[in-house]
Amino acid sequence: MFTPGYFRDAADRVFAPRESAVLMAAASGAPIYSPFSTFIGTGIVGGRMPTYIEMGRQAAKAVNALLDGTAPAAVGLPTRIPAEVQIDWRQARRWGVDPNNIPSGAILHFKEPSFWEAHRDAVIITAAVLLLQAGLITALLIERQSRRRTAMALEASQKQMNLAARAARLSTWAWDVGRIENGAAESLRQHAAPQNDQPMAFEHVLETTYPADRADLERAVGKALATGEELDIEYRVLRPDGDVRWVAARGRVEKGNASRLLGVALDVTERKVANLQAAQDRAALRHMTRVSIAGQLSAAIAHQINQPLAAILGNAEAAQKMLASKMVDLADLREICDDIVTEEHRAAEVIRRLSALYKRGDMKVAPLDLNELIRETLELLRTELLIRHVAPLTDLAPALPVVDGGHVQLQQVLLNLILNAADAMNGNVEERKLTIRTEATGAVVRFYVVDNGCGIAADDLKNVFDAFWTTKAAGMGMGLAICKSIIAAHHGSITATNNVEGGAAFCVSLPSGKPA
Ligand code: ADP
């Protein structure tokens, strides 16, 4: 149905056209269309409608032109007012108008915007935020899971480490060098604790260290920090109860923290005590050997020399008597003198035979590797040298020819030379350096025992190998004499010199044997 509206009905009732449209729309059984946009909202569906705003605008233009004095003919009639399809969306829905049939440019009135149209921006922003949040939550969950897995793996490996450490009776430590803190009592407790992961100021590590070993530990730690090399040291720890324990510590500088050392420590007291005992036993044995050799030598000398001496004495007394009487029988006197010379030769022979004791002794000669013997001897003396703060260094020539020698005897020479060197360095405040070097030239193999001790007075250099010559209060002066006779028995030589930079050097030369 189409209506322009009415002013009066058949019953002569008067309306504004819009009112009539309202009444008709309410009563109509079909959709109503109209040409006036003012009818939108009365219940009509819509129609092609000119806009009153455009109409007013064109009228105003014409009036303005007339008022400006333009001739009416020139003003002319208004152009055709453009019309637009306008639809009351509610009525179109009510009458079931197919939206596809509504022209695309139509103005739709009373159309509720969809949620999307009304809140497009907010929806987009909210969705973006939600997406971002979901992404973040997922990432966090994944991270948390991987962290948990890492933490579990770490815990498991730490447990294994602790187990292994406990089984090996190892304790871990962390030392902060340069950190100063209070609480020495606490540190003392910590140092003795079996598992100690809390960093500890190195100052307090030193406080709990046996005083005689502090300088060595400090030096070793300083070196490890400066060079990045591994710290490997054995030292004594003073426990709060006064007990002294031996600790073997190994460590390294922590990555990213150049003033912290991390490492493990092992209580090696039992092993040390056993080693020490062995060293003492060896020292006692060495002493006993020397004493017994000296004893045997003097007994043998006394026994063997007594007879020729007694004969010489008897002959000399007889000669004295003869010279006292007036009548001197020259033939007798000659005989007495001959006897004295013979007995003297006998005594000299005894002494020669005694000095050749080692040549006839039960020395077991076999091809031996001097480098190996040196390593073995240093291992025997490890603890003794450690206690005496002597740092042995070796400079052993590779592929050293073997020498034919007595293992026990040559070891005795090495022991004597090394211990003499350690004695000579007793007064050293600075580092006590002992170097053992080997070399081979031609058919001669040499080893040197070099120290940085007190050295030997120039006048004494010629005496050091003499039997019973010593400068030590408790010395016997037999060590080097024995060394000399052992080396002589090996057809070698031994010499003593002073180093230019201080200390003494003993050089032993031996003829090289056939390879073992
Ligand atoms: P002892 O050790 O009983 O004195 P030795 O025959 O072994 O007997 O040594 C004799 C002396 O030689 C020592 O007392 C010492 O004066 C000197 N001597 C030995 N080795 C060294 C050394 N490395 N440095 C300085 N003096 C030494």
CA 289 – ligand 1 centroid, Å: 17
Domains 167-267 and 365-516 share a fold: no
CA 391 – ligand 1 centroid, Å: 20
Residue with CA closest to ligand 1 atom 11: 470
CA 298 – ligand 1 centroid, Å: 21
Return the best residue to mutate from 420, 435, 462, 472 for the ligand 1 pocket (most ligand atoms within 8 A of CB). 420
User: Would the CB of 233 count as within 6 Å of ligand 1?
Assistant: no
Helix (H) or strand (E) holding 515: none
Residues sharing a CB contact under 8 Å with residue 322, sequence separation 6 or more, in sequence order: 328, 329, 332, 333, 336
pLDDT at 286: 66
CATH code linked to domain 167-267: 3.30.450.20
Annotate 179-240 with DSSP letters as a single string: ---S-HHHHHHHHH-S---S-EEHHHHHHTB-HHHHHHHHHHHHHHHHH-PPEEEEEEEE-T
pLDDT at 203: 87
User: Would the CB of 421 count as within 6 Å of ligand 1?
Assistant: yes
Checking DSSP bridges between strand 83-88 and strand 107-109, what pairing results, if any? Answer: parallel
How does pLDDT run along the chain (516 residues), one tens digit per residue? 898 888 998 889 898 999 999 999 999 999 999 998 889 999 999 999 887 787 888 888 889 988 998 888 888 776 777 788 999 999 999 999 998 999 988 999 998 888 888 889 999 999 999 999 999 999 999 999 999 999 999 999 888 888 887 777 788 888 888 754 444 334 444 454 445 567 888 888 888 899 889 999 999 998 998 898 999 999 999 888 888 888 999 999 988 888 889 888 888 888 888 877 777 777 666 665 665 555 555 665 666 677 788 888 888 988 888 888 878 888 888 988 998 898 888 887 766 665 555 444 556 789 999 999 999 899 888 878 888 889 899 999 999 999 999 888 899 899 999 999 999 999 887 789 999 999 999 999 999 999 999 999 999 999 999 888 999 987 878 889 889 988 998 999 999 999 999 999 999 999 998 654
User: Would the CB of 502 count as within 6 Å of ligand 1?
Assistant: no
Residue with CA closest to ligand 1 atom 14: 470
CA 465 – ligand 1 centroid, Å: 9
Q: Residue 112 carries which side chain, given as an amino acid letter?
A: E
CA 420 – ligand 1 centroid, Å: 6
User: Would the CB of 454 count as within 6 Å of ligand 1?
Assistant: yes
User: Would the CB of 480 count as within 6 Å of ligand 1?
Assistant: yes
> Which DSSP state fits 259?
E
pLDDT at 132: 95
CA 464 – ligand 1 centroid, Å: 6
Domain ranges of the chain: 17-109, 167-267, 271-362, 365-516
* Three-state DSSP class for residue 178: coil
Q: Which atom of ligand 1 is nearest to the CA of 478?
A: 6
CA 296 – ligand 1 centroid, Å: 22
In degrees, to the nearest 5, what angle opens at C-alpha 168 toward C-alphas 166 and 174?
A: 65
Return the best residue to mutate from 291, 480, 498, 507 for the ligand 1 pocket (most ligand atoms within 8 A of CB). 480
Residues 304 and 30: their CA atoms lie apart, in Å, by 162
Residue with CA closest to ligand 1 atom 26: 456
Residues 131 and 190: their CA atoms lie apart, in Å, by 53
User: Would the CB of 485 count as within 6 Å of ligand 1?
Assistant: no
Cβ count near 514 (within 10 Å):
8
Q: Which atom of ligand 1 is nearest to the CA of 482?
A: 6
User: Would the CB of 422 count as within 6 Å of ligand 1?
Assistant: no
User: Would the CB of 416 count as within 6 Å of ligand 1?
Assistant: yes
Residues 462 and 493: their CA atoms lie apart, in Å, by 14
User: Would the CB of 451 count as within 6 Å of ligand 1?
Assistant: yes
CA 336 – ligand 1 centroid, Å: 43
Confirm if 111 and 89 have CB atoms less than 8 A apart: yes
CA 183 – ligand 1 centroid, Å: 48
Annotate 432-487 with DSSP letters as a single string: EEEEEEEEEETTEEEEEEEE-SS---GGGTTTTTSTT---STT--S-HHHHHHHHH
pLDDT at 134: 95
For 365-516, which CATH superfamily applies?
Histidine kinase-like ATPase, C-terminal domain (3.30.565.10)
Q: Which atom of ligand 1 is nearest to the CA of 474?
A: 3
User: Would the CB of 419 count as within 6 Å of ligand 1?
Assistant: no
Strand partners, 447: 438, 508
Confirm if 344 and 311 have CB atoms less than 8 A apart: no
Residues 225 and 79: their CA atoms lie apart, in Å, by 100
pLDDT at 230: 92
Residues 176 and 208: their CA atoms lie apart, in Å, by 15
Polymer length of the chain: 516
User: Would the CB of 453 count as within 6 Å of ligand 1?
Assistant: yes
Confirm if 231 and 224 have CB atoms less than 8 A apart: yes
Return the best residue to mutate from 464, 468, 499, 501 for the ligand 1 pocket (most ligand atoms within 8 A of CB). 464
pLDDT at 476: 79
* Three-state DSSP class for residue 373: helix
Residue with CA closest to ligand 1 atom 23: 421
Handedness of CA 345, 351, 354, 359 (dihedral sign): negative
Residue with CA closest to ligand 1 atom 17: 464
pLDDT at 495: 97
Cβ count near 146 (within 10 Å):
10
